[in-house]
Amino acid sequence: MNNPPIEPIATYIALGSNLASPVSQIKSARSAIAATEGIIELAFSSLYHSLPMGPQDQPDYINAVMACSITLAPLALLHCLQAIERNHGRVRKNERWGARTLDLDILLYNNQVIDLPELTVPHSGLCERSFVLYPLHEIAPDLIIPGKGAVADLLAHCPLAGLQRLD
């Protein structure tokens, strides 16, 4: 898992923020990801406004999805994304679904299914979260999620739940 793949791998990354100027956080994270050696941006969705998951006493989120071509191994990519989160003021707490300056998740790593203590791909919440499925469908409408099916089919069963595309 730690050896870099020889050929570039198609990867999808979810970006989310609800603290410290979320739109700026997402734009800055996009630039940081694209500037990382071994990562080339292929597409970037619109920004979406979504209601928070879990505790409702927190600000609403801004979300997006980024398609990349990468030459990093899955765990190396994860560690790069975690470093970008830290550089954007992310402090990891034992609170699930709490407020955060930046949240970066690997949604898909080519067609691979990865089940490690540190990383699960496809991302476990991908198929139920409108703030991931709608932006993912926007940039990859024909995408098939390993073991889950077509993004378009999953989207048909995923209500908007307050999700709004920003212009």
Cβ proximity of 72 and 11 under 8 Å: no
Residue 92 known to be catalytic: no
* Cβ-defined contacts of 52-56 (< 8 Å, 24+): 52/18, 52/97, 52/99, 53/97, 53/129, 54/96, 54/97, 54/98, 55/97, 55/98
Residue 60 known to be catalytic: no
Catalytic residue among 30, 92, 96, 100: 100
Cβ proximity of 72 and 39 under 8 Å: yes
Residue 57 known to be catalytic: no
Question: Rounded distance, CA 44 to CA 8, Å?
Answer: 18
Catalytic residue among 30, 86, 90, 92: 90
Catalytic residue among 105, 115, 142, 167: 105
Question: Rounded distance, CA 150 to CA 96, Å?
Answer: 28
Catalytic residue among 57, 60, 92, 103: 103
Residue 105 known to be catalytic: yes
Q: Phi, psi (5° rounding) for residue 128? A: -110, -5
Positions marked catalytic = 90, 100, 103, 105
